[in-house]
Amino acid sequence: MKTTLEIPDSLLHELKAHAARKGQTVKRFFIDAVKEKLYSEADSNERQVGWRSVFGKAPANSVAEVQSVIDEEWIKIRNK
């Protein structure tokens, strides 16, 4: 499917340069970026629902701290 996006000129120039440095087309860059964004949000939502449903609600600042530790550990696991 084709679509049209309006992107500020300065951002488009950066995008083209970045894609070229990586040896990608702009199309491939967009597809990869969208997939990464979608999957990272889905993973984050699943993790949040998982442990929060077990331990219940906590004050917002402690929730953020716990989530931060969990996110860091997931990054370590994925990079192994």
Domain boundaries, the chain: 9-78
- Give whole-number Cα distances, 31 to 3, 24, 25, 45, in Å: 12, 11, 10, 21
Say what the pLDDT of residue 30 is. 87
Say what the pLDDT of residue 9 is. 93
Q: Which pLDDT tens digits describe the chain residue by residue (80 residues)?
A: 888 989 899 999 999 999 999 899 999 998 888 888 888 765 655 555 566 666 666 565 677 777 788 888 888 887 76
Say what the pLDDT of residue 12 is. 92
Say what the pLDDT of residue 17 is. 92
Question: Do residues 67 and 48 lie in contact, with contact meaning Cβ atoms separated by under 8 Å?
Answer: yes
Q: What is the DSSP letter of 22?
A: T
Q: What is the DSSP letter of 8?
A: -
**0.85 surpassed by pTM:** no
3-state secondary structure of 79: coil
23: CB partners within 8 A, 6+ apart: none
Closest CA to 66 of 45, 80, 52, 46: 52
